[in-house]
Amino acid sequence: MILAALYFLLASAVTYAADELRVSGNLATLSDAPGIKFETSGWKHSNSSNPFLLTPDELTNAMVGVSRLRPGTPFLTNGPVIPKSLDAATVQVLLAERLRGKSNLSVSTETIGGRQVAVARYSDPYSRRIEYAFALKEHLVHVMLIAKEGRYFDSGNQVARKVVQTLKPL
């Protein structure tokens, strides 16, 4: 009985995720709110839509995550609450507050793909990280790269930036 219930729940979740996520070639379409599409650069992908994960190799050397966060929810784990009104300056403050205390942290705003994007760069002893954040359809879009130094970081940086550059609402 328990196995049958677990199978039903798993099948429902996979069907639900499949309805929200389509990847065709290098184009990902995530239809749950707010619906978006963007280029994946050909990296492997998860079967979840929020967060949507890209990796060159099973998440061991690099990962790009794409999340869409609603107002009133925390900016990921222990982050500030996303306000209802979002502009580039507010997004930069939220990103800086979320990452307060990280070593070698720099936070700035850049124009990427025709929009103002908050960009944070920092590192830890094992990896380098870049996070991008911007407002879209009353949500906060967050793209995070975590990668080992060297070719994985360089490649991941190109993939993450391409996601931000090509991301469009449905």
What pLDDT, on a 0 to 100 scale, did the predictor assign at position 126? Answer: 87
CATH code, domain carrying 92: 3.40.1000.10
Domain total in the chain? 1
- Of 73, 87, 59, 68, nearest in space to 156 by CA: 59
Residue at 169: amino acid letter? P
How does residue 59 score in pLDDT terms, banded at 50, 70 and 90? confident
Residue 10 has pLDDT above 70, yes or no: no
Classified as helix, coil or strand, 74 is strand
Specify the range with the lowest mean pLDDT, choosing from 74-78, 86-90, 132-136: 74-78
- Of 117, 88, 121, 97, nearest in space to 107 by CA: 121
More confident of the two residues 108 and 57: 108
In terms of C-beta density within 10 A (0-12 exposed, 13-18 middle, 19 or more buried), how is residue 148 classed?
middle
pTM given for the model: 0.87
For residue 14, give its domain range: 2-169
